Structure 1
Amino acid sequence: MNIGSVLIENPPDERHFKFWEPIVWETSSAVMTLGGLWAWVLIYYRFPLARVGRWRFVAVQLAGFLGYTLSHVGGMVALRELAYALDGRDYDFSQGDLWLRVIYEGRKDALGYLLILAIIWVEDRFSRQMHVAPAARRKLEIRDGGRTVFVDPAEVLWIEAAGNYVEVHTTDKMWLTRGVLSAWEAQLSMEGFLRIHRSRLVNRQHIQTIEPLPSGDVRIRLTDGRQIIGSRRYKAAL
């Protein structure tokens, strides 16, 4: 649409640019935006609002936006310079006023970033609503030594990191399996599991009481009577 508008508003006999130039302007920007989508999704799910809290979420998103706009502008300028070099010319990004151009691009990037963030948020909420029931019937596959055990997520009380392994705790059993806690968190976030510590996840269905401690941490009593500690850094999720 932008390419068409530029060409329509500048008839062939009045153009101060070649036909291919607006195509390069717009596609270079679009390529860099599409290239950054994976980072948007990664940041959103790595630092979810429910776990990190409002202010840390805002800080992370501001850092993500700065990283995006720098890579977006830098990448699209590099692509344009390459295209112009192939035509034997130089590309002038600043057009006489570098800071004005930076502000102009940053303003557009801010709107684009907020729009994409909103789309990811809506998709996340829609996905959670649509998949809660099927996910609840899925069994966890735990490789314990030479055997594979299938466990209902509802039976798991908490999961704890142990070096290159994780401990999966149920009421009467503990399995030790190779893996990282972040992978289990991603797998079980829709099952009601919350990260309450750098090395610990808990099943909300099995939380009986939460008791604040003088240190700012919390003591969590589970339905089987056992107690685990939650870090104050993750208290917002509870």
Structure 2
Amino acid sequence: MPPTPTLEYRDFHRWRRPAEVAFWVGLAILNTVFNSMVAQIDHARVAAWEPWVWEWTSSLVILVLVPAILAAERRWPFRFDTWRTSLPWHLLATVPFSLVHVTGMVALRVLAYRVAGVRYDFGRWEPGFGYEYLKDFRTYFIIIALISLSRLWLVRWQGEARLLAAPDEGPPVEPVERPERFLVRKLGREFLVNAREIEWLQAAGNYVNLRVRGRDYPLRSTMAAIEERLDPTRFVRVHRSYVANLDFLAEIEPLDTGDARLKLRDGAIIPCSRRYRAQLRERFGEAAAV
């Protein structure tokens, strides 16, 4: 039986987005302060404020670009099984990343120097951009590494679902084509989740989240692939990104747009698109509609 969600995990999940923002902002501040102090020592002949302007303008632009890197990593996940496919795309992404960073950084420096009553000179763009690109290349992949490590830590804490593999010898205990149970690995422990206990499934990039007793377990699969292996008498597609277990469905709430909201027994709400609404009502029964 899967364990109930711990208080620590629920609290983290609730505050995950603010925690992530705080992490990137805090990391940027610490890194910028350290680099500014080093730059001030290395450039003792310039005004004391100039190295701080150099570092802060650079860090501010990189901080603004972090969401774009996060989006790129979601589009091309950098994992042990995908890095060969994802690496060329990320190498290509370092070029616009550096262009935007350098352009924004120089614009902010020009503005800061103008406020100080002096002129900022970046120098020749050819060697200047080449130098900045090498640093941006390193920065981009440091951010990618931090994203990958944080995901690995979160998956180990949250738990990751896998399909049971067929045995090396002899017939499988249950049908592999339509699994009755899923293997969940969490913090070094393993346990089985019955397919009938899955409340709904949600597509999330290259993963499908299995919702079981208030906890999401990511399964590395596409929605189309896993839908084919679920019991069609119990699981039904209700949205491009959702499959619901009819055993947990309590109410269908029609919307003026033609879509609907589905209320489950535990009070959770998931969307139902117009495309699947009529089919769902036929399967679930008119008595559930309001």
TM-score range, shorter chain: 0.5 to 0.7
User: Residue 226 of structure 2 is aligned with which of 202, 219, 234?
Assistant: 202
Partners of 2:149 and 2:197 lie apart in 1 by: 29
Equivalent position of 2:61 in the other structure: 32
Instruction: Report if aligned partners of 2:62, 2:101 keep a CA contact under 8 Å in 1.
Output: yes
Are 1:91 and 2:120 matched, yes or no? yes
Written as runs of structure 1 = structure 2, the 5 A alignment for 1:5-16 is: 5-11=38-44, 15=45
Instruction: Report if aligned partners of 2:53, 2:112 keep a CA contact under 8 Å in 1.
Output: yes
Structure number with greater CO (CA < 8 Å, separation at least 6) is 1
Are 1:72 and 2:114 matched, yes or no? no
1:202 Cα deviation from its structure 2 partner:
1.4
Equivalent position of 2:158 in the other structure: 131
Partners of 1:223 and 1:182 lie apart in 2 by: 18
1:153 Cα deviation from its structure 2 partner:
8.8
80-89 or 184-193: which moved more?
184-193
Instruction: Report if aligned partners of 1:193, 1:201 keep a CA contact under 8 Å in 2.
Output: no
TM-score normalised by structure 2 residue count:
0.47
Equivalent position of 1:115 in the other structure: 142
Specify whether residues 185 and 9 from structure 1 end up closer, same or farther in structure 2 by C-alpha distance, changes over 3 A only: closer
Partners of 1:89 and 1:80 lie apart in 2 by: 11
1:156 Cα deviation from its structure 2 partner:
8.8
1:102 Cα deviation from its structure 2 partner:
0.9
User: Residue 21 of structure 1 is aligned with which of 50, 60, 66?
Assistant: 50
1:66 Cα deviation from its structure 2 partner:
1.7
Partners of 2:219 and 2:203 lie apart in 1 by: 15
Instruction: Report if aligned partners of 1:185, 1:201 keep a CA contact under 8 Å in 2.
Output: no
1:118 Cα deviation from its structure 2 partner:
0.9
AA aligned to 2:229 is L
Specify whether residues 80 and 55 from structure 1 end up closer, same or farther in structure 2 by C-alpha distance, changes over 3 A only: same
Q: Secondary structure at the match of 2:159?
A: helix
Specify whether residues 186 and 93 from structure 1 end up closer, same or farther in structure 2 by C-alpha distance, changes over 3 A only: farther
1:38 Cα deviation from its structure 2 partner:
1.3
Structure 1, residues 138-169: CA drift from partner, whole Å, max 9, x if none? xxxxxxxxxxxxxx993499xxxxxxxxxx79
Q: Structure 2: which 5+ runs fail to align?
A: 1-33, 162-181, 183-192, 211-215, 234-290
1:92 Cα deviation from its structure 2 partner:
1.1
Specify whether residues 118 and 49 from structure 1 end up closer, same or farther in structure 2 by C-alpha distance, changes over 3 A only: closer
1:111 Cα deviation from its structure 2 partner:
1.0
Q: Secondary structure at the match of 1:93?
A: coil
Partners of 1:32 and 1:72 lie apart in 2 by: 6
TM-score normalised by structure 1 residue count:
0.56
Equivalent position of 1:3 in the other structure: 36
1:9 Cα deviation from its structure 2 partner:
4.1
2-11 or 115-124: which moved more?
2-11
Partners of 2:47 and 2:79 lie apart in 1 by: 50
Specify whether residues 156 and 54 from structure 1 end up closer, same or farther in structure 2 by C-alpha distance, changes over 3 A only: farther
1:63 Cα deviation from its structure 2 partner:
3.0
* Percent of residue pairs bearing the same amino acid type: 26
Partners of 1:201 and 1:28 lie apart in 2 by: 46
1:113 Cα deviation from its structure 2 partner:
1.2
1:184 Cα deviation from its structure 2 partner:
10
1:86 Cα deviation from its structure 2 partner:
1.3
1:5 Cα deviation from its structure 2 partner:
2.6
Specify whether residues 190 and 9 from structure 1 end up closer, same or farther in structure 2 by C-alpha distance, changes over 3 A only: same
Are 1:192 and 2:219 matched, yes or no? yes
1:183 Cα deviation from its structure 2 partner:
7.8
Equivalent position of 1:60 in the other structure: 89
Structure 1, residues 40-82: CA drift from partner, whole Å, max 9, x if none? 2222123225699444412321232222111111111110010
